[in-house]
Amino acid sequence: MAPAWQRNPRYIVFILVALATTFYLLAPADVDAPLRPSFYPDSDLPNRVARSDRIYNKLLLDRKDLIKKFGPTPNDVALFPPNKDPWPAYTVWDFFPAAYNCPHEVQRLGALGDGGKWVCGITRVETKPDCIVYSFGINYESSFEAEILANTEHCQIWGYDFSVNAFGPQIPRAQAPRTHFRPYGLAGADKHGPDDNPKMYTLESLMKMNGHTHIDILKVDIERWEFETLTTLIKPYIASNKPLPFGQLQLEIHIWNLSFAEYLTWWETLETAGLRPFWTEPNLVYQNYNRDGTSDLAEYSFLNIKGDNIFIKDPTRRLPSDGEYGRHAPGPTP
């Protein structure tokens, strides 16, 4: 009797396909291959953003239930209950978790501990030609800014802090041309007359001074002035139904001398403007030094879900004119 493969040629085809599949699956992966997405990453970004929206919308309902449980109104909720009644115990941060899913990779840039920040999708601006970063609060600790420079090709960083006179030593000399420092402060109103020291500017004034209409990454650490400054900044955008002029925000929150109701109102202003927290961590260094049982400083990272910033929408490709076909592939519109 003839062998099976002679009687049925499909048999040998099946064997060859099975062997090829086995060799492919067993082949060692290239562990050194870079995981660097292109400037036009996954096409399902709108679906990921929509899923993140649904997850966060559930959180909004859960917060209302939690306020009723411990309130029943915001005025009845304590930031940090002084004893074990009510039980189970809670703190203010339990009402405001970072429940929004960043639709990209989340990476800590800068030093572990104080100084580093969590960023959503740094690869989205890796090759962005007009990448702009603003950093308020330097204090000679610039590891965050240094890693942004190391992870991007074109990002320009504007730093502001009236308590120091330069970026920290972490900025390499070779990257210094991409940094710009001024000893100014961030405030809700301009105060930069001849007798004003330090000089204070609103974010809009600084952006106009620098010729910018949009900021990709905004870092703010201004020792509790974030409440007045961000409220003043945000309200006109809410009133005009326009998106905020930045893609994401890294913010240290200093919840000193506030009531829960006041903090809730401020936080809901951020949410109304389109800011969604995707990462948080308490400032345990501060808590360790004070040892008073409260943790009233926390780091938050927010994504702006309104508008068309690079973190929530892919850039639009420009179709080439007839004369451009064959010369080069279409590229992004600047």
In whole angstroms, what separates CA 93 from the centre of its chain? 19
Whole-number pLDDT of residue 183 = 95
Question: Taking 90 as the threshold, does the pLDDT of residue 135 lie above it?
Answer: yes
Query: What pLDDT is recorded for position 67?
Result: 97
Per-residue model confidence as pLDDT tens digits over 2-14: 555 455 556 555 5
Per residue in 162-175, pLDDT tens?
999 999 999 999 99
Displacement of CA 102 from its chain's centroid (Å): 8
Reported confidence tier of residue 232, pLDDT bands at 50, 70, 90: very high
Q: How far is it between the farthest Cα atoms of the chain?
A: 106
> For residue 100, what is the enclosing H or E element?
none
User: What pTM, to 2 d.p., does this model score?
Assistant: 0.80
Supply the mean pLDDT for the chain.
Answer: 84
The full set of domain ranges for the chain reads 45-304
Report the pLDDT averaged over residues 285-310: 79
Q: Which residues, in sequence order, are CB contacts of 140 under 8 Å at separation 6+?
A: 164, 166, 167, 168, 169
In the predicted model, is pLDDT for residue 220 greater than 60? yes
Task: Write the single-letter amino acid at 26.
Answer: L
Candidates 191, 186, 260; CA nearest to 230 is 186
Return the half-sphere exposure (C-beta side, CA atoms, 13 A cut-off) of residue 267: 22
Q: Which pLDDT belongs to residue 207? A: 97
pLDDT at 40: 44
What class does CATH assign to 45-304? alpha beta
Query: Could you identify the residue written with the tokens 């002035």?
Result: 225
Helix/strand/coil for 250: strand
| In contact, 297 and 91? CB cutoff 8 Å | no
Rounded to whole angstroms, the Cα distance separating 172 from 131 reads 19
- Which pLDDT belongs to residue 16? 57
